Structure 1
């Protein structure tokens, strides 16, 4: 069934892969960007392009009212520039607001116009509850001990979207066109070390696979939480050296935990030593999701060849 789909954040790394997939399926797509300079990009992808400020309630309300969509997809983030994991909340400050204020604005606009379904971006890479096994399902909570603003923003987004009857897609760490350029540059400069034993797990997902899962959630009017990750959660001591090899870089340096804590910050230490990966079994079972890149091993190699 052809639908009118409103993609908030259509010019982002995921939006640029999602919009063409929706268009190819016959959907009528309105995609937003904060920058008028990116309108042409969205139009070339096949969408009706709109400038919208996700942090301005009036701007969001007007854009949604004009589009009158049947589903809203929330992909708004503001993650750019050199990764600053040491100052994670500062690096994610605008994204945190988009996941709180921006989510609230979209839900209010959806209610005002009568949009019946919302799909929203969340995160599941290493941030599962840090007890028990190394791989978590949707039944397991995200790390409840994380008190930073980024974690609080994700909790808010998930709570209000699920309460509204929507779907929360917990994407793994993205890789693919434009998603990991800054990280790869750090790897090539040997500025992305393995911390401690590097036994903390992460989950990855290629942008194209994340987009295809999102299309399924839109078309099936999915509800609840889904982990959108590949088949192979893995510890940092496996994926980081492999990423370096694929990038033609020297193996990453290793630094002890006691040294990493003041240099890289608490988040980096947690990710690399205690992080948890995630299972995609529910998304495969309930959405019928099939991955083009079942493992980061295949994806890293192809992307960096």
Structure 2
């Protein structure tokens, strides 16, 4: 199968290309920078420079690749994380990613229609953002929280947009948990080691995690099975912050995280950070296991954090 991977040099794209190739697929992968074309060549993909926010650029790249499936992994999260974190203003911090999830999605869908590409797989998000009512663990039947009244709302609206648009077009939206693995949590680990990543309140908010390699394997299955609808791509153990954050600190060789009251965290980091740490809802992966036949190499962040941070220190 010819796969067009939009966003081939991100943390997930770099793990996804080898798995697609190993499964026998031909991969054309995009980057926004000519300097990263050698990286794609080293991975074994045919690289192409593309601006996901330029409809003509997207149309030309897709026409050149003549794919059977488009995989939409375009974000600017690495760009956002490269600057000073602005947790109080996620609408500004992730502004380009929000555009890639709206305008970029529209550009890819238009290119798919113009070139008769029958299937699209798109990145969505499911870590702590389940609807904040009822139980702590949500399925695909539960809505995502709209974050009404929060600066996180534009980002959540963009996630809903990409899901609605892709599913309407007969594709699949993969709601990945919080990534960890090579290059994915370096900034968080640095903050943990500096004791600048505190537990807020009781740390009772749940999150779901996923190792990059498991996210990639689920994506390969979604491509090969021409999956449709929405799937939570998370590990087996959604957990509250008061469990995963101290464990992350221990695996990083850091002192236990400091504690911070909600009022002070809201002042310093904003509403979204407080919500995540105190009220967040995690997600179930039962549907992906059942319908895609997905098996995880890293079923829990507990062993996953230990393995990854040990690897990073050696």
TM-score normalised to structure 2 length: 0.95
Report the alpha carbon displacement of residue 205 of structure 1 after superposing the two structures with TM. Answer: 0.0
Is 1:174 the counterpart of 2:179? The answer is yes
Tell me the residue number matched to 1:20.
18
> 1:257-276 counterparts in 2 under 5 A?
257-276=262-281
In the alignment, what sits opposite 2:131? 129
Consecutive aligned runs of 4 or more in structure 1 exceeding 4 Å deviation: none
Q: How does 1:170-249 map to 2 (within 5 A)?
A: 170-249=175-254
User: What aligned pairs does 1:20-39 form with structure 2 within 5 A after superposition?
Assistant: 20-39=18-37
Deviation at 1:152, TM superposition (A): 1.0
Displacement, 1:86? 2.0
Deviates further, 278-287 or 140-149: 140-149
Could you say which residue in structure 2 is the equivalent of 1:164? 169
SS across alignment from 1:120: strand
CA contact (8 A) 2:126 2:208 kept: yes
Deviation per residue, 1:49-89 (Å, 9 max, x gap): 00000000000000000101000000001112254322211
Cα offsets for 1:146-180 (capped at 9, x unmatched):
46210111111011001001000000000000000
Partner of 1:284: 289
- Whether contact under 8 Å (2:147, 2:156) holds in the other structure is no
Quick one: distance in 2 between partners of 1:146 and 1:93? 18
- Number of the residue aligned with 2:93: 91
Alpha-carbon distance in 1 for matches of 2:3, 2:26: 6
The total of aligned residue pairs comes to 303
Unaligned runs of 5+ in 2: none
Q: TM-score, normalised by structure 1?
A: 0.98
Q: Which residue of 2 aligns with 1:113?
A: 115
- CA-to-aligned-CA distance 1:159-210 (integer Å, 9 cap, x gap): 1001001000000000000000011001100000000010000000000000
Which runs of 5 or more residues in structure 1 are unaligned?
none
Q: Secondary structure at the match of 1:177?
A: coil
| Among 8, 12, 27, the residue aligned to 2:6 | 8
Alignment of 1:47-66 (within 5 A): 47-66=45-64
Q: Distance in 1 between matches of 2:148 and 2:20?
A: 35
Aligned mates of 2:217, 2:85 — CA distance in 1: 26
Tell me, in whole angstroms, the C-alpha distance in 2 between the residues paired with 1:177 and 1:145. 30
Say which SS state the counterpart of residue 49 (structure 1) adopts. Answer: strand
Superposed CA RMSD:
0.8
